[in-house]
Structure 1
Amino acid sequence: MSDEARSYPSTALDLMEDNALRRDDVDWDEVRRTAFTEAGDARRPAGTHRAIEAALGGLGDGHSGFYAPKRAKEPDGDEQIRRPVEGWALAGRMGYVSLPGVQGSEKVYQQYVREGRDAVAKANRPNPAAG
């Protein structure tokens, strides 16, 4: 494997190990051995994509996935797939906030955070009907 190709899965595996949901339950030495075996004699980073995808799938957390660079580009029009963020005050000094999953560009994530803050503020208001 070329040095350039070797650094690509190594960086990806480092990120996985640092951020995996169940990182303490994973045999990282085995994940790395398997990934580098799968990458074989890759000469370019693209040749390691299948190995990285397999390593992510092997984490078994149901939250990890791999997107090749061409597919990972930010969606046109800042597409997003989610229900609206909601928040409202309930009786008895209680509030309700709904934060559904979100997927999209950095711009979409920033909008989601703003909407989440607004929802928390709405849920934190005194409910005049509960008085």
Structure 2
Amino acid sequence: MSPGAQAYLSGALDIMEKHSLLRHRVDWADVRSKAFSQARGAQKTADTYGAIGSALYALGDGHSLFWEPQEAKERLGATADDFDGLEGRSLRGGVGYVSLPGVQGSQEAYDQYVRQGRSAVAKAGAAEACG
């Protein structure tokens, strides 16, 4: 395995071990051994993607998965001008209503979501909502 591919795989496994939801239940020596075995002969970082995906699946948390860079860019790279369902409005009786649906994306998308969420809260409270 090339030094670059080895460092890439090792770094990915380090991140998994540090942040996995079930990190205290995982046999990390076994996960690492299997990942490095699967990536044996890897010359480029892309050659380790299968091993990283397998290692994430082995965590068994149902939350972890691996996207190759192009897929991640397609899924997370674009930001939305409007987040479907994000709104704020005043209801009768002095009640403010705010809907904040889930969001997934880049840091830019999260920042935009926060700005729009703050705007929705301000709009909901514009009529001096009391609840």
TM over 0.5: yes
Change (3 A) 1:96 1:20: farther
Aligned to 2:129: 127
| TM-score normalised by the chain length of structure 1 | 0.72
Aligned to 1:30: 30
- For structure 1, the 5+ residue unaligned runs are none
| Partner SS for 2:31 | helix
Change (3 A) 1:76 1:31: closer
Change (3 A) 1:57 1:74: same
Counterparts of residues 1-131 of structure 1 (less than 5 Å): 1-73=1-73, 78-79=78-79, 83-86=84-87, 98-118=99-119, 127-128=129-130
| Partner SS for 1:73 | helix
Identity within the alignment, %: 52
In the TM superposition, what is the alpha-carbon distance from 1:47 to its structure 2 partner? Answer: 0.8
Contact 2:21 2:61 in 1 (8 A): yes
Count how many residue pairs are aligned between Structure 1 and Structure 2.
128
Letter matched to residue 78 of structure 2: D
| Partner SS for 2:52 | helix
What's the C-alpha RMSD, in Å, of the aligned pairs?
A: 3.3
